[in-house]
Structure 1
């Protein structure tokens, strides 16, 4: 296994300038903050990364820039969310050329593929890259569920190694462990149930609010790993109002606004997304400001 599927892997936001170009300066500030906090990997070009608005050239630029910033300290993964099998294979091969160490792969976009089609799609990608793969299982948002029986077939591909478990059903963690043991690593993908998922045996957390609050996110993981559940729960309870900003359609705008308040990014999003306004904006600001007023003092979580 070439990636240690564990710990905190931020699904990072993509930074844009006022002219709607990649803002690699602010992007680097955020990535370095994630590394300083002790994250275990970086995931590019997911929903939070506004993948659907990025050109192929921009995705490649983000990948090579991140690889350069990270310098091998943690693995860099890029998301693949394509409409055709051919384009998904090409994206995987370009990611490998650009220095990515792994892939997070969504089911086919737009077309609601059946079980057999979904399995063949994932297998085709896996058979045309040497990179390790994490299947993104999010039927709530993408309307396609990868069932345990489907994983039984998919795990015949040695490089399909992990699942980003986003079904919102914590019992799936136990079902996966009972069925596959450590053969299929579990990265929980829903911020609001992350701690519960970790306690039940998930190996790590592909996180969202970590973009603005990296230390707190890593601390929760490290505390629960060390058996300090009470301490992890205290931070998680403080975190919950912020985490709930990650499970609504405006999650990108919400988290980018939080990044502004923690000096880790800008509010710029790419159309058709627009910055928040009105009562919605005021609600998010109040949530962030309330959290900052009561921000917990963290233990020395790196040396537990």
Structure 2
């Protein structure tokens, strides 16, 4: 789904709906494109708004530059414009992020996702200048990505307000887990930018305060479910949206029992969507009582007909 901006950048789309932070399947330490293309087809059939290749869930930190560029190109070619491709092009080096962004734009993506610089912990002014520089080199809309738990820096609402005046910055993936901050963000920039949840478990709560969708991990396995949740809410079918939320609330938690994307990649393997390979420094999901419970809960949801 795409909505048009009501600001002075009316020609640019703003993102809403369900965007799947898609995994990267590996086979013999190479990208398994046969499995990957099947995953993309599953997403298209489910009616998601788009996919996000080369994000954290796609193990982007372990992809080489050539793999990163190739994966984005192959994604664009495979979806054939049926859904949007919002490519992960973030880095803690502004120069590198610009290079990745320019390459993705040339390959025909619909948008780029740019994460907070990690490890070097810039100030709010540094964050502003970083994202401003990236946006100025982008020919497609930019979705900011705030995830302090992984980056150690929090992109504050006041800084996002400044960034909302920058051409191409049209959306925000919010993964602070702080609904108070999200509410303040929407109150400041909701007429200029869309705000999407970066946490599956907060999709419904964020929709309730003005969010417009989710960049989802769980939709790798259950894309139709997330689409139904968001669309039910948008159509005023609140009880239906709540039922899905509560049916999946345990899965939303168990999917993060270990570092993402370890659990979701294991789940995708269990259901035959990819092999078990994951790249170091991540390791396969621990085999214990919790992982066994995760598998059992997923099987139960599949038996109920959820897809």
Instruction: Check whether TM > 0.5.
Output: yes
Aligned position for 2:300: 293
Asked if the contact 2:14/2:170 (under 8 Å) is kept, the reply is no
Measured in 2, the distance between the counterparts of 1:21 and 1:154 equals: 38
Q: CA deviation at 1:215?
A: 1.4
Instruction: Give TM-score, length-normalised by structure 1.
Output: 0.92
Asked if the contact 2:219/2:226 (under 8 Å) is kept, the reply is yes
Task: For structure 2, list consecutive stretches of 5 or more residues without a partner in the other structure.
Answer: 1-10
Aligned position for 1:26: 35
More off after superposition, 189-198 vs 174-183: 174-183
Q: Where do 1:236-251 residues align within 5 Å?
A: 236-251=245-260
Asked if the contact 1:63/1:99 (under 8 Å) is kept, the reply is no
Q: CA deviation at 1:262?
A: 3.0
- Length, aligned pairs only: 296
Secondary structure of the 1:164 match is: strand
Tell me which stretches of 4 or more aligned residues in structure 1 moved more than 4 Å: none
Q: CA deviation at 1:189?
A: 0.6
Asked if 1:87 corresponds to 2:90, the answer is no
Task: For structure 1, list consecutive stretches of 5 or more residues without a partner in the other structure.
Answer: 300-304
Secondary structure of the 2:30 match is: coil
Asked if the contact 1:3/1:101 (under 8 Å) is kept, the reply is no
Measured in 1, the distance between the counterparts of 2:258 and 2:296 equals: 21
Aligned position for 1:302: none
RMSD, aligned α-carbons? 1.7
Aligned position for 2:5: none
Aligned position for 2:223: 214
Asked if the contact 2:118/2:153 (under 8 Å) is kept, the reply is no
Asked if the contact 1:11/1:206 (under 8 Å) is kept, the reply is yes
List per-residue Cα deviations over 1:217-266 (Å, max 9, x = no partner).
11111111111111121122121121113445422120011112333222
Aligned position for 1:283: 290
Secondary structure of the 1:87 match is: helix
Secondary structure of the 2:240 match is: helix
Instruction: Give TM-score, length-normalised by structure 2.
Output: 0.91
Measured in 2, the distance between the counterparts of 1:273 and 1:76 equals: 26
Measured in 2, the distance between the counterparts of 1:207 and 1:104 equals: 13
Secondary structure of the 1:251 match is: coil
Equivalent in 47, 50, 54 of residue 41 of structure 1: 50
